[in-house]
Structure 1
């Protein structure tokens, strides 16, 4: 019987550095049997809505994500069966017709702002991480990213942050910190925490005789 993969959940607010932490773990084990799944791929299909209605959706709310599909595909991967990961079309704010084939791996990193919010997802995880970065740093990172990489105006980024991102973070994301096994301050710049995590993951892999 094939061994169950190790699942590592990496949560944290927008701009916290959670992607950097997940990427650091992934890069260390790259070349081995490891994959990264971003919760952002699992935004709900909104093809039934008009474009204007899609623009007005709250993408920082738990209801924005198709957790049913994510859980179904995680269970398939954990049973060593391949899946077709959805692709989200950010230009049209709905799911693309394309998919990405994923083959089962020994280590699955599941990364996203709300991956610790759903108990069913938490129950699949061997290690639960929360990347905890001060709100001002998270905002600066988001502002820099959205204006430089996504062509957003300063006013629109500030408006979205104060009206949606900040209240949703306080209501839904921050409370999931209590479920974390490890809380990592300042994200990807915390080399000590990342090194400790990698050592722990290696230990689990050896115990499960996966390495």
Structure 2
């Protein structure tokens, strides 16, 4: 039996990565999703941003990356793990609130699912969904396929402003200035090394972060644009065929 396939899906908050992960989870026959959101530290351990006098849920220090990395290692080895030990499960967090009824047309969904059943047979697929993940070399090295989703600054900001999050202490909505002082700066700072013209923040804002040669050729990350006018069937089809292409390439490599 083939080893489990680890697929990482990352990008800025509100880039659509969780929506895509959940959609793929309905297409791949033997798949499970691990959300980075379930590895948030308890509320009382979230770093505090003195500039805006708010807790910063969008920095690396808010996530237990040690536990997330350990879980992905176990998944890669097809080992079980104790969810209560490793994960700070939030049954009402954003990952679990997102609508499970996606806009993939029935025809496209059925077509892709049939192809997936033939391509994967009984191979397990784990979809690892989260922001800032590609800033961790340990995590990147564990992933067989890396998918990155992006859109421009204004679209991210607009999407983020209408979101609500449930945390230990209740419902969280972004306070004034949170996106501009926390969400975007953390995303930009920890990803500019993989962006074209990464030192030019104005350009990155306009593209959401187009990947540079290092990201594509060395880290082997594939990127996808997910604007408000993007067709979801087309996006899911493109992502699906990218995954299948990588799987087939790896099988050829093994045979050689």
Out of 161, 177, 183, the position equivalent to 2:223 is 183
For 2:98, the equivalent position in structure 1 comes to: none
Question: What root-mean-square deviation, in Å, do the aligned CA atoms of Structure 1 and Structure 2 show?
Answer: 3.3
Q: Deviations over 1:82-108 (max 9, x none)?
A: 1123134599xxxxxxxxxxxxx7111
- More strand per residue: 1
The 2-side partners of 1:8 and 1:24 are apart by: 14
Q: Are the aligned partners of 2:145 and 2:246 in contact in 1 as well (CA < 8 Å)?
A: no
Distance 2:66 2:137 in 1: 12
Aligned-partner Cα distance in 2 for 1:73–1:24: 22
Assess if the C-alpha contact under 8 Å between 2:132 and 2:187 holds in 1.
no
Structure 2: where are the runs of 5+ without partners?
93-122, 195-210
1:97-116 aligned at under 5 Å gives the runs 106-116=124-134
1:85-100 equivalences in 2 (<5 Å) = 85=83, 86-89=87-90
Partner residue, 2:76 = 78
Query: C-alpha distance in 1, partners of 2:190/2:231?
Result: 25
**Measured at CA, do residues 190 and 89 of structure 1 come closer, stay the same or move farther in structure 2, by a change above 3 Å?**
closer
Answer whether contact 2:226 2:235 (CA < 8 A) is retained: no
Q: Please tell me whether residue 141 in structure 1 is matched to residue 159 in structure 2.
A: yes
1:126 aligns with 2:124: no
Preserved CA contact (<8 Å) 2:11 2:149? yes
Greater relative CO (CA pairs within 8 A, separation 6+): 1
For structure 1, the residue ranges without an aligned partner over 5 or more in a row are 92-104
Contact 1:12 1:18 in 2 (8 A): yes
TM-score with structure 1 setting the length: 0.73
1:202 equivalent in alignment to 2:244: yes
1:3 aligns with 2:21: no
Tell me the TM-score normalised to structure 2 length.
Answer: 0.62
Cα distance, 1:25 vs. partner? 1.6
Structure 2 counterpart SS, 1:163: helix
CA drift at 1:46: 5.7
Contact 2:42–2:88 (8 Å) recurs in 1 = no
1:34 to 31, 36, 44: 31
Partners of 1:167 and 1:47 lie apart in 2 by 22
Which of 208, 211, 234 matches 1:192? 234
CA shift in 2, pair 1:47/1:61, >3 Å: closer
